């Protein structure tokens, strides 16, 4: 689980997806001449908010991850409570072919009010989104890994 930017909801999603590692935001690592993370063949869920700016950051993150042969099993688009702009929707649509799947995670106000997101009883749409993310991760984990070589900084 990695964030395309800070505040993407990475920690919350990691708490809701057992057995997922929270790698935090990788945004500051994208311009370095090394892999922003090394998933060692494990599928990655990339989180981003539902804004046009977040969509640009998700595009950059997915591009760099693909350059380093990291596979993004799912792009989790986390609602901040407001509507998704047309620009954001168009940018996210362009990413569909570059990831295993896109899941829109609805805003759940109660998640902002607790320390442990696992304590919140999620509404149906949110539970469905979490289940979709699990399926995408499971499906990606079943596919063989193809890598060009060892990943590291130059």
pLDDT tens per residue, range 19-71: 778 888 888 777 776 677 788 888 999 999 999 999 999 999 999 999 888 98
CA distance 15 to 111: 11
pTM of the predicted protein model:
0.87
Alpha-carbon distance values, 149 to 69, 121, 146 (Å): 9, 43, 9
**Least trusted range by pLDDT, from 1-10, 20-29, 81-90, 91-100:** 20-29
β-sheet with 44-49: strand ranges across: 2-3, 44-49, 72-78, 102-105
If DSSP codes are grouped into helix, strand and coil, which group holds residue 147? Answer: coil
Please report the pLDDT score of residue 123 as a whole number. Answer: 96
Please report the pLDDT score of residue 34 as a whole number. Answer: 66
Please report the pLDDT score of residue 149 as a whole number. Answer: 37
Res. 154 pLDDT band, cuts 50 70 90 = very low
């Amino acid at each position: 689980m990695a964030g395309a930017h800070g505040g993407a909801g990475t920690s919350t999603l990691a708490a809701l997806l057992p057995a997922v590692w929270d790698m935090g935001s990788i945004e500051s690592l994208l311009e370095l001449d090394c892999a922003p993370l090394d998933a060692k063949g494990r599928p990655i869920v990339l989180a981003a908010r539902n804004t046009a700016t977040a969509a640009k950051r998700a595009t950059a993150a997915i591009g760099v991850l693909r350059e380093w042969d990291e596979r993004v099993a799912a792009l989790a688009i986390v609602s901040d409570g407001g509507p998704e702009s047309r620009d954001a929707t168009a940018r996210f649509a362009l990413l569909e072919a570059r990831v295993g799947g896109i899941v829109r995670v609805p805003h759940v106000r109660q998640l902002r009010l607790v320390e442990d997101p696992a304590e919140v009883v999620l509404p149906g749409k949110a539970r469905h989104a979490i289940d979709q993310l699990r399926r995408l991760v499971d499906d990606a984990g079943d596919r063989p890994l193809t890598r060009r070589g060892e990943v590291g900084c130059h």
